[in-house]
A = this chain, B = another copy of it.
Amino acid sequence: MNERNHISIREAIRGRITDGEWAPGAMMPGETDLAEEYGCSRTTVNRALQKLAEDGLIERKRRAGTRVREIPSRQAKFRIPILRHEIEAAGGAYSSRVAFRETLKAPGFIQSRLRLATGARVLRLHTVHLSDGQPYAFEDRWVNIKAAPGVVDAPFDIISANEWLVREVPYSSGDVRFSAMAAGQIEAQALATSLGAPLFTVERTTWLRDLYITTTKLCYRPGYHMRTEL
C-alpha cells in the first residue's frame, strides 16, 4: 500500500476541483489517464477518488465515469462508541448502576420493533452510566432473550449490556435515530435533572440477518452534544 502517494494525489485532485479546473457537473478524466498523468498505478488513483467520492465532491458511476458534483453532498460521520470508551476518552472515570432488571413478556411495541412472536420473552434493563460518579446517560434497553439467552444471567454489574452484547453478537446491523425528548420522571431522577429538561437521545435497534437482538434508548444529561467534522 503506497499510502503517501494516494493521499498526495487525492489532495492534488481535490485542489483542481476546488480551484475550478474541473467545474461542478463536469466529467473528469478517466482513471487510466489520471494514472498516466500522475505516474502511478490505477489502484492509487482508485483509492484517491474513493475518498473524494465519500467526501461528496465527485460522483462515480459504473460505466459513465467520474463527474464533479453540482452541489457537494456532505456526510457527517459519527463513531458510535461504547459509552465507557466515550467517557474514558474525555478523561472521566466510568461506572454504571443497573437501576432495573426484569425478564417479561414483550409488550406490543417491543414485539413489533424486535419482530418477535407473540409471548416472546425479553429482558428489560435500566442502566445509569456515570462519569466521575456523576450521571452521564440513562439507558432503557430491551433484549430478545431468544437471540442472546446468556443475557438472563450476564453480570451487568461488571460489564455493561452494550459491551456484553457487542462481544456476543459483534457483527449485527443497526438502525439509529437521533432526537430530543423531555425528561420524564424516570430520566429526571436517573440523571439528577428536572422534569421536562431537554435530553439528546439516541435510539438504536440491532439485528443479525433476520434475528432482532436489542433495542435501546439512551438519553444524555442536559448540555451534552455530539460533535463531528464535515
B182 touches A197 (CB 8 A): yes
Q: Which of B18, B175, B198 contacts A199 (CB 8 A)?
A: B198
The reply on A57 being an interface residue by CB < 8 A is yes
Report the separation of the CA atoms of residues A197 and B200 in the bound assembly, to the nearest whole angstrom. 13
Q: Which of B1, B174, B225 contacts A177 (CB 8 A)?
A: B225
* Contacting residues, chain B, for A222 (C-beta < 8 A): 180
The reply on A8 being an interface residue by CB < 8 A is no
B177 touches A180 (CB 8 A): no
Q: Which of A70-78, A90-98, A109-117, A142-150 contacts B (4 or more CB under 8 A)?
A: A70-78
B75 touches A80 (CB 8 A): yes
* Contacting residues, chain B, for A62 (C-beta < 8 A): 1, 3
B230 touches A176 (CB 8 A): yes
Please name the residue on chain B nearest to A163 by beta carbon.
B71
| A interface, size bucket | 35 or more
Report the separation of the CA atoms of residues A173 and B73 in the bound assembly, to the nearest whole angstrom. 12
* Contacting residues, chain B, for A224 (C-beta < 8 A): 179-180
The reply on A170 being an interface residue by CB < 8 A is yes
The reply on A206 being an interface residue by CB < 8 A is yes
The reply on A133 being an interface residue by CB < 8 A is no
* Contacting residues, chain B, for A71 (C-beta < 8 A): 82, 163, 166-167, 170
B171 touches A18 (CB 8 A): yes
A179 to chain B, nearest CB (A): 4
Residues of A bordering B, CB below 8 Å: 1, 3, 17-18, 24, 31, 41-43, 46-47, 50, 54, 56-57, 60, 62, 71-82, 163, 166-167, 170-171, 173-182, 196-201, 203-204, 206, 222-230
Contact sample, A vs B, 30 pairs, CB 8 Å cutoff: A3-B62, A41-B43, A42-B43, A43-B43, A46-B47, A54-B54, A56-B79, A57-B171, A73-B79, A75-B77, A75-B78, A75-B80, A76-B80, A77-B77, A78-B78, A175-B227, A176-B228, A176-B229, A178-B178, A178-B225, A178-B227, A179-B224, A180-B181, A180-B198, A180-B199, A180-B201, A180-B222, A181-B198, A196-B198, A206-B230
